[in-house]
Amino acid sequence: MRMQAVSQENIRAFREAIQQSTRIAVVGHTHPDGDALGSCTALSLWLAGRGKAVSCIFPDTPADNLLFILSPDVKYVYFDADASAAEAAIRACDLIVQLDCNHFSRTEGLEPFLKASTARKILIDHHLNPDRESFDVVFSTPEISSASELLYWVLKAADGDFSTSPSAPLEMTEDLSCRAQSRHLMTIGTALMAGMTTDTNNFANSVFPSTFQMASELIAAGVNRDALLQQLYSSYRENRVRLMGYMQYEGLKVLPEGAAYMILTKDIMSRFDLREGESEGLVNVPLSIGAVKLSVLLKEDDGHFRVSVRSKKGTSAQQLAVRFFHGGGHENASGGKLFIGPDIANAQAAEAYVSNALKTFLG
């Protein structure tokens, strides 16, 4: 099987770019999610296996609950923890591969260094409206589950048997936690499966025939999906479950227009001792209400709110994010920001803004 987005010509250009480079920067987006971490880790492992010096660079340190996707065999650099190391890695490389983000701006603090770099650049992404002009080779299709899946088809086309990696697959221990932090346990296949699983919300959204085919092939190749699901969906702290309950009981606002929103303030996050990544999935919950076709979650940050938008088919989360929240993403899963100052006078004004935005959008 060959994905439409994976043309022979692109694969030739991909192979050639890799052959001709020695130091490669693999770059993912801000607040990396499972797909960013999975795809970047998988590509870094694959490149390292071909003798390349690889730096895997993210704007921010990943959330604790996703650290299991990292491989001890990959050199990670986080701009928020060590800006000069990230800058140096980008300056030193002769090839940049950006995954799971359609524009340099999604890498926030890395953007000026990526723009200034004269290295060859490859994009492997599944968001709408990629910035094609900034890259020499572009693999882009929104008709796929995830960047991890797209990378799977790219690697299959470039190197047929990559998933039979010598590393052992993710293993479950007797207490059901995964030994993923042990050496060699995160394989290319497991990292890709993790990225696809989180971006589809465990096969609930953006699933295509090719997605099941990838999953089927990876399971046949030895990826332990049970261990992965255990790690992704059954390893949370009690605080997170209580926060989810609280937000659904106290925080949920449902509008007659068919929209819902929730605002996760700093005060609530500190009351529940919430950590980065622990509100993952909350924005999807209101869509389980029959009458709700659009759901927005605002999460208070310094000087702004981070915005997550989800929609049912027929309603565009992406358009709402573009029009009201300086953002974008996918048709039914997008994000953006709401700035205190430019957009709203203070944090208390966020509720009126989001409620008006939803009414205007659906009205």
Residues numbered 286 to 345 that lie near Mn ion (CB under 5 A) are none
Burial class (CB in 10 A: 0-12, 13-18, 19+), 361: middle
Longest distance between any two alpha carbons in the chain, whole Å: 58
**Count of residues interacting with Mn ion (CB under 5 A):** 5
Q: Report, in Å, the least distance between residue 219 CB and ligand 5GP.
A: 25
Candidate ranges 32-40, 42-50, 166-174, 274-282; the one touching Mn ion (CB under 5 A): 32-40
As a whole number of angstroms, the distance between CA 212 and CA 192 comes to 13
Whose tokens are 């001709």? That residue is 20
Q: Report, in Å, the least distance between residue 308 CB and ligand 5GP.
A: 3
Q: Residue 149 binds what, of Mn ion, ligand 5GP, none (CB under 5 to 8 Å, by partner type)?
A: none
Q: What is the DSSP letter of 109?
A: G
- Enclosing H/E stretch for 176: none
Residues numbered 329 to 348 that lie near ligand 5GP (CB under 6 A) are 329-330, 333-337
Q: Residue 337 binds what, of Mn ion, ligand 5GP, none (CB under 5 to 8 Å, by partner type)?
A: ligand 5GP
- Asked if residue 199 binds Mn ion (CB under 5 A), the reply is yes
Q: Report, in Å, the least distance between residue 128 CB and ligand 5GP.
A: 9
Q: Residue 35 binds what, of ligand 5GP, Mn ion, none (CB under 5 to 8 Å, by partner type)?
A: Mn ion
Those residues whose C-beta lies under 8 Å from the C-beta of residue 159, and which sit 6 or more positions away, are 46
Burial class (CB in 10 A: 0-12, 13-18, 19+), 11: buried
DSSP 50-103: TT-EEEEEESSPPPGGGGGG--TTSEEEETTT-HHHHHHHHHH-SEEEEES-SS
Structure-block tokens of residue 346:
């203070």
Q: Residue 59 binds what, of Mn ion, ligand 5GP, none (CB under 5 to 8 Å, by partner type)?
A: none
Pairing of strands 137-140, 75-78: unpaired
Rounded to 5°, angle at Cα 127 from 123 and 132: 40
Q: Report, in Å, the least distance between residue 46 CB and ligand 5GP.
A: 23
Whose tokens are 């572009």? That residue is 138
Torsions phi, psi of 56, nearest 5? Answer: -105, 110
Q: Report, in Å, the least distance between residue 167 CB and ligand 5GP.
A: 29
Helices (runs of H) and strands (runs of E) counted in the chain: 12, 12
Residues numbered 291 to 320 that lie near ligand 5GP (CB under 6 A) are 308
Q: Report, in Å, the least distance between residue 277 CB and ligand 5GP.
A: 10
- Asked if residue 327 binds ligand 5GP (CB under 6 A), the reply is yes
- Asked if residue 35 binds Mn ion (CB under 5 A), the reply is yes
Q: x/- contact string, 128-157, with Mn ion (CB under 5 A)?
A: ------------------xx----------
Q: In this complex, which beta carbon is closest to ligand 5GP, that of residue 169 or of residue 336? A: 336
Residues 100, 147 contacting (CB under 8 angstroms): yes
325 three-state secondary structure:
helix
Q: Report, in Å, the least distance between residue 101 CB and Mn ion.
A: 8
Q: Which residue is nearest to ligand 5GP (CB)?
A: 335
Residues numbered 9 to 68 that lie near ligand 5GP (CB under 6 A) are 33
Structure-block tokens of residue 60:
């921010």
Q: Which of 100, 149, 280, 300 binds Mn ion (CB under 5 A)?
A: 100
Alpha carbon 108 to its chain's center: 14
Q: Which of 145, 328, 340, 347 binds ligand 5GP (CB under 6 A)?
A: 328
- Asked if residue 323 binds ligand 5GP (CB under 6 A), the reply is no
- Asked if residue 117 binds ligand 5GP (CB under 6 A), the reply is no
Name beta bridge partners: 25: 55, 96
Q: Report, in Å, the least distance between residue 146 CB and Mn ion.
A: 5
Q: Can you give the binding site for ligand 5GP, defined by CB under 6 A?
A: 33, 127, 308, 327-330, 333-337
Q: Can you give the binding site for Mn ion, defined by CB under 5 A?
A: 35, 100, 146-147, 199
